[in-house]
Amino acid sequence: MRVAVRWSVRVAMLLLVACGNTVAPAEQDAAQDVADDLGTDDALDDAGTDDATDLDVKEVAVDVPQDATADVAPDVNDVPDLILDVGQCAIDDDCVGKVALSACQLPKCSVGVCSAIKNPDACCLDADCDDGNECNTHKCDQQQHKCTNVAIANCCSGKVLLQSAGFESGQDGFVATDGADNGNVAWQNTSYRAHGGKKSLYFGNPCHTYDNSMTPAGACKPLLSETKPVSTTLLSKTWLLPKDKKAQAHFWLWLDSEPPYTSSMPAGACDPPCNAASSCIQVAGASVCEPEKDLLSLQVLAQDAPPATVFWSTQIGKTTQGDPASPSGWRHVAVDLAYWQGKSIQLAWQFATKSNVKNGYEGIYLDDVVVETICPDLGKILCGDAQKCDDDGLACTADSCTGYSNAKGQGVCFHDNIAACCLGDADCDDGNTCTIDTCTTNVCKSTPDATQPGCCKPATIQNESFDTQPLTGWVNLGLNSVNVFWRINPKGGEAGSGSMSFANAIFTNYDDQTLLVGEGAHGTACAKPIQLKPGTNYKLLKFALNMDTEWSDVATAQYVNPPIPGNAKLDWFSVQILTGGLTETIWSSDAIFGSTQGNWLPVTVPLDAYAGKSVQVCVHFEAGDATLNDKPGVNIDNLSVTEACEKADCYWNSECANKTCAACQTPVCAASTCVCQAVSNCP
């Protein structure tokens, strides 16, 4: 037993020294007491500081004979008691307040030392919610620190995701080859429109057209003498499709291009039918196949196989606008890739105008491009003319069949998320700790959390009363007239004070008869740059508008601007944001049918999309032609840019475009809320 006692005391002293503790005299006395109780004189010697610092595990092994194992074991159980006498804790509760904990951690006592461990019932990151099921989403509610795991539609074990491109931080490996005359028309990341996330990939220019003669400096007006045809090819990465699995590609498309010939000419009866790149029309009483211009197509490029066109924009009328099923203008396009199973492929989007006219349309947006295999149990996801899609039981998904663009009568069921729809607060997390994110009746709302210091401080960033001559702090750009431009009207304001007016020198109209025949005045005025701070405060542009134009004499139901597609807009006012060298229109007189009927109207436009950026507020007006320009035109008063803690759900109908409505209904903004309004004369 002497060897066992010597080993027990020596280990205790060794542990104390290893933890940075010096053996105090009192502890030497305690060691002597142990020695006396056990009848040995060696305990005190072994507890001395000189001997203890020289000890290591190997010394213990030397002191313990091979046949002493039975004697050693009982004394080993005494070691924890000696450690706990100088440690932080004995149980987990002893660690409360001794270690820093996050919302998803618990205190833990281990061998006398306190530490933080993961709380299995809480989460801080989405990764904390991984339940091991590849067919579930893993989301953490940052407010409640609770996990939400929702089944992924069309998912199955072993499914292969070859590409998922959302274009949030770049072009995700897509490479463009543009025509030599494209000029400022090119593929670029943009936040102007997006299907998922905040960005998409856009083919166009800063004026949001694919007319390469339009520039912000030229007031985004087409110059026919400088317009040239544009063309592009957007090429994806190369993927090797699995040999043992069927595959598909699908993407979201927002398209605005020159309409097909059949929109303005009588349809013909061509026999044989025209190919997908042409339209059948009547010319001089005969049916002919006329090749379309401004045509978007998608090809599959595969090894040892000729290019195969799997989608033409003629299949959707060369536009995604006006589809009641997709009020946001986004169209889901799916392609069956079963033919290329086991081959390496690329996708190539091609677009060509073939002429220099009617290129003033907005262009092409791509988002959420996915290449993936599909589940072996095809009966659950394939659909067509005879088979519809089952309801997945989720309130925020549209259970619709998307037909394959290259396989007539066949398609796949997608349970796509409905824009701005939510199932719980976790779906509304905007990643900002200064907002309260809630889901009410499937609608997300994020409001500044005024209870947290520093989260919401109202402020005025820019304030313009236009009471002082001349117009200072603003620069006139893109003017075509020396007689009509933006200037101070000393008595044109709301209360008879000053306003900013686009007019002649005596403020009677915006007519300039010195311009070329048929040309109307146009011009843009931009304020000084201002910095919009990042954070949760709402950014709002406010001004009062009085607009009296040729549209004042036209019923709102008859407002169509431009009256002829592809031509210039008439008597059109817009508000633009200039940032990073690019100009984006954020509001226009289309929202008020071109006129306030000579009355003052308050206008509010959210600027949240530009938080953290340096911006310039610009106003633009274009007469469009030389007729009916004898009205007073546009007057602006009391313009301000503010940071506010509250804002309305909506101010204009255009902000409600993502709201889903039933057939024969359209989303509108009423009483600052998006609602569905019945469409008149709808069957």
pLDDT digits (tens, 9 = 90+) for 121-151: 888 888 888 877 767 778 888 778 888 877 7
Judge contact between 623 and 510, C-beta under 8 A.
yes
Residue 421 — left, alpha, or beta (φ > 0 → left; ψ -120 to 50 → alpha)? beta
Backbone phi and psi for residue 236, each to the nearest 5 degrees, phi listed first? -85, 180
Q: How far is CA 410 from CA 274, 325, 332, 334, 403, in A?
A: 22, 19, 15, 10, 6
Judge contact between 202 and 363, C-beta under 8 A.
yes
Within a 13 Å sphere around the CA of 572, how many CA atoms are in the beta-carbon half?
22
Averaged pLDDT score across all residues of the chain:
82
Answering whether pTM is above 0.75, one says no
pLDDT tens-place string over residues 162-185: 999 999 989 999 999 999 999 999
Q: What is the pLDDT of residue 439?
A: 85
Determine whether 269 is exposed, middle or buried from the number of CB atoms within 10 Å of its CB (0-12, 13-18, 19+): exposed
Span of 348-352, 380-384, 643-647 with lowest mean pLDDT: 380-384
Single-letter amino acid code for the residue at 175: V
Same fold across 161-258+293-417 and 459-647: yes
Higher pLDDT, 581 or 33: 581
Residue 273 DSSP code: P
CA distance 36 to 3: 15
- Cite the beta strand spans of 600-644 per DSSP E: 600-606, 614-622, 633-644
CA distance 410 to 673: 39
CA distance 112 to 128: 28
What tokens were used for 113?
């030392």
Residue 275 DSSP code: P
Span of 151-165, 255-269, 291-305, 597-611 with lowest mean pLDDT: 151-165
CA distance 391 to 410: 19
Judge contact between 618 and 576, C-beta under 8 A.
yes
pLDDT tens-place string over residues 537-560: 788 999 999 999 999 999 988 999
Span of 63-67, 79-83, 315-319, 428-432 with lowest mean pLDDT: 79-83
Higher pLDDT, 81 or 489: 489
Single-letter amino acid code for the residue at 106: L
- For residue 290, what are the β-bridge partners? 279
State yes or no: pLDDT of 196 exceeds 90. Answer: no
Single-letter amino acid code for the residue at 332: H
CA distance 265 to 263: 6
State yes or no: pLDDT of 456 exceeds 80. Answer: no
Task: Identify the band that residue 118 occupies on the pLDDT scale cut at 50, 70 and 90.
Answer: confident
**Would you state the torsion angle of the CA atoms of residues 476, 478, 481, 482, taken in this order, to the nearest 10 degrees?**
40
Judge contact between 241 and 341, C-beta under 8 A.
yes
What is the domain partition of the chain in residue ranges?
2-84, 127-150+420-451, 161-258+293-417, 261-291, 459-647
Please report where in the chains the tokens 């050693």 appear, as a residue: 72
Task: Identify the band that residue 573 occupies on the pLDDT scale cut at 50, 70 and 90.
Answer: very high
Calculate ∠ Cα 651-653-656, nearest 5°. Answer: 90
* pLDDT, mean of residues 648-673: 84
**Would you state the torsion angle of the CA atoms of residues 606, 610, 612, 618, taken in this order, to the nearest 10 degrees?**
-90
Judge contact between 44 and 34, C-beta under 8 A.
no
Q: What is the CATH number of domain 161-258+293-417?
A: 2.60.120.200
Judge contact between 339 and 191, C-beta under 8 A.
no
% residues pLDDT > 70 (the chain): 83
Q: How far is CA 417 from CA 154, 303, 400, in A?
A: 13, 35, 11
Q: What is the CATH number of domain 459-647?
A: 2.60.120.200
